[in-house]
Structure 1
Amino acid sequence: MATYRMLFSALLAISLLISSNGTKTGEEINETIICTKDLIEVEIPSTFFLSKNPPILISDLHLNDPECHGTEVGNLYVFSIKTNFTDCGTRMESDSTHIIFINTIQNNFSDIITRTFINITFACRYPISYMVQQPNGENKISVDIRTITLNTEDGNFSVSMILYKDPHFEDMWTTIPFLTLEDNVFVKVKMVPGNLIIRLENCWSTPTKNPVQAIQYFFIKESCPQIVKDETLSVVMNGEAEEAMFRIQMFKFVGVSFNHVFLHCTVQICHNTVSVCKPVKEDFCQ
Structure 2
Amino acid sequence: MRGSVLGKTKHHQSCIKPASQPQMLLLQPPQQRLKVPPPSVPFDKCQVEENEKIQCGTRDITAEQCENINCCFDGRQCYYGKAVTVQCTRDGQFVVVVARDATLPHIDVDSVSLLEANNPSCTPAGVTAAFAIFQFPVTACGTTIKEEEGYVVYENHMSSSYEVGIGPRGSITRDSHFELLFQCRYSGTAVEALVLEVNALPPPVPVAAAGPLRVELRLGNGECLSKGCVEEEVAYSSFYTRADYPITKVLREPVHVEVRLLERSDPNIVLNLEHCWATSTPNPHSLPQWDLLVDGCPYHDDRYITTVVPVDGSSGLQYPSHHKRFIIKMFTFVDQNTFTPQQDTVFIHCATAVCYPSSTNSCAQPCHRQRRAVAAVRKASSNQRALVSSGEVILTEERTTSAPDTKSNR
Please report the TM-score for the alignment, with normalisation by the length of structure 1.
Answer: 0.42
Larger Rg: 2
Q: 1 or 2, which has the higher strand percentage?
A: 1
Please report the TM-score for the alignment, with normalisation by the length of structure 2.
Answer: 0.30
Q: 1 or 2, which has the higher helix percentage?
A: 2
Task: Report which structure shows greater RCO (CA 8 Å, sep ≥6).
Answer: 2
